[in-house]
Structure 1
Amino acid sequence: MQVLDTSSLAGRGGPQSVGRIFAILDLLAEARDGATLSELAVKTTAPKTSLVGLLSGLTLEGCLVRNEEGRYYLGPRFVALAMRATPGRELIATARPVLVDLVEASGETAVLGVLAPDAEVAIYLDKVESENPIRYAVSVGKRQELYCSAAGKILLAFFTSERRENYLKSYVREKFTATTIIGAAELQREVSQIRREGVAYSVDEGVSGASGVGAAIYAADGSVVASLSIAGPTERMRQNRAENVRLIKAAAANCTKRIGGTLATGQEATSPFETGPGNGGRYNK
């Protein structure tokens, strides 16, 4: 990380804390392994006592996350905002009417997901919630594991073989429910099925009682840039499975067409503004 001198920020006509916040964000945007309080204090040339409150507030608001080792990373709220303001904005605008139509047709919540730029996880870029009183509720910016969500499985399925093998071998997978699939061999079989059928399922894997189905959105070069999924109560999703599969495939194909994409398989899933494989996930070191 570079060193940012914040000593003169107070004289710029605004609160010094504002300048320090941007200094923190600038540094963490380039720090793939995050940074501790001590490291941030050195790099921003600011006292630890001045940074503690800022870091706490940013973490509370979801702009930063702090792991068990005390390292800070950019959080889901900031990443979602960045995506909505830059490369993801066009995708959101294009997919929005499709999400609305999908909710109306299926009666379930529809979600647009992409790979996070800093970790091997999916992040929800946009959503339209069902009007059913019992529905799947989700927040824009929420991070979701690739291995136990329909949105994430689609993205995982279209990793390059090398990247997917590394993920299955090294990524620490938590068993959230009795039906969460965490075994590498079982996940590999499911990924192969997803690539053949073009649709991914999650049944009570992330949360008991909630299930989803997803399909891929392709770019012009045939790469997978996003996932489109619907989710709802498991019993309702099970009853309407065939119709939901038809709807999600048609909706994803519609999104692909709207962005000038090409329906193809065998290409790598990428974040809309990813410059390389993220390594901020829960990997064994």
Structure 2
Amino acid sequence: MTRQASSAPLAAEGPERDNTGPRSLTRLLGLFDVLSLTQNGMSLAELSATLASPKSSLLNLLRPLVAEGYLIHADGSYRIGPSIIRLSASVMSAWNFPKMIRPFMEELVERTGETVLLGVLNKEAEAVAFVELVNSPHPVRLQVPVGTVRPLYASPTGWLLLAYADKGFRDPYMASVQFKLKMPAGIARASITREMAKIRTEGVCSSIDTPIAGVGSVIAPVFDGNGECIASLTVAGPADRFRKDMDLLRATVKEVAARASGIVGAAQPGPK
């Protein structure tokens, strides 16, 4: 859409009319900020009102962001897209938190021989993002690139993060989630709800051949000093190796994740 020369708000923007410069960058950051706070997205009119920015200016920002996958435009609304989730995961990987957890991940690799991943919950995308990993030394191992995202319903790691998420997010999600990926027989809302209850009781999640055939995994939560689950440690690899030592794997992952939680809690600033 072309800018209207007669529009007073547009004229007031002056040199920023080509969508470059500090003001446009501030608008871009503000755009991601407001969209990160809504699960259902916002229309162009809502964004214009919230950001106090002309629609034509916003469209010049929105169109390339949609084209590159940073935003999704559907049903008249704009939502956070997969590219910004991957970018967020990359930023997370440079954050101190993964560095703090990495020694525990390396310990798990040494003790289990399997690949270890650090996962975080992205509520806006309703997904789990893997922000750090340490690969198994085995030639046959699970390969998951840093920045990979999976829908919460389609991953045992997602089930665990959902189990410890606040009810204000978890209950609406479970009531409205649509299984857009083809899932194995038996995996539905009811089965995931039962699994979440089991996870909260046992403090660990384990799976073999579910939801991906040939893959085994064990996942435990990492808590901050306030008792909130801020991440997960996932040990994953070929299912045959997990069948042999599942009880030991569950105990090991749970124990290491508990020690990681203690370090995170001790490092957390402010009142506990």
Q: TM-score, normalised by structure 1?
A: 0.71
Q: 2:249 aligns with which of 240, 244, 248?
A: 244
- 2:86 pairs with one of 67, 77, 93: 77
Alpha-carbon distance change, 46 to 199 in structure 1, aligned in 2, over 3 angstroms: closer
Cα separation, partners in 2 of 1:224 and 1:52, compared to 1, 3 Å: closer
Choose which of 8, 15, 20 in structure 2 pairs with 1:8: 15
C-alpha offsets along residues 56-112 of structure 1, whole Å, 9 cap, x if unaligned?
Answer: 3x42xxxx1436547352522222234345xxx232111011111211221211111
Aligned counterparts of 1:36 and 1:162: Cα–Cα separation in 2: 24
Question: Which runs of no fewer than 5 residues in structure 2 stay unpaired?
Answer: 1-8
The partner residue of 1:26 within 16, 27, 30 is: 30
Displacement of 1:138: 1.3
Residue 8 of structure 1 aligns to a residue in which SS?
Answer: helix
Instruction: Say yes or no: does 1:173 pair with 2:179.
Output: yes
CA deviation string 1:169-214 (max 9, x = no partner): 2211345342461133x22222111111111123333433223110
Return the structure number with greater helix share.
Answer: 2
Structure 1 residue 45 corresponds to structure 2 residue 45:
no
% identical equivalent positions: 29
RMSD, aligned α-carbons: 3.4
Matched, 1:124 2:130: yes
Indicate if the aligned counterparts of 2:44 and 2:55 stay in contact, CA closer than 8 A.
no
C-alpha distance in 2, partners of 1:154/1:205?
Answer: 14
Higher RCO (CA < 8 A, seq sep 6+): 1
Match of 2:150 among 137, 144, 155: 144
Tell me if 1:104 matches 2:110. Answer: yes
Call closer, same or farther: CA 1:55–1:167 in 2, change over 3 Å.
Answer: closer
Describe the SS at the equivalent of 2:132: strand
In 2, the alpha carbon distance for the partners of 1:237 and 1:25 equals 44
Among residues 235, 259, 265, which one is paired with 2:240 in the alignment?
235
Residue type at the aligned position of 2:31: L
| Larger of the two Rg values belongs to structure | 2
Name the SS for the 1:45 alignment partner: helix
Match of 1:265 in 2: none
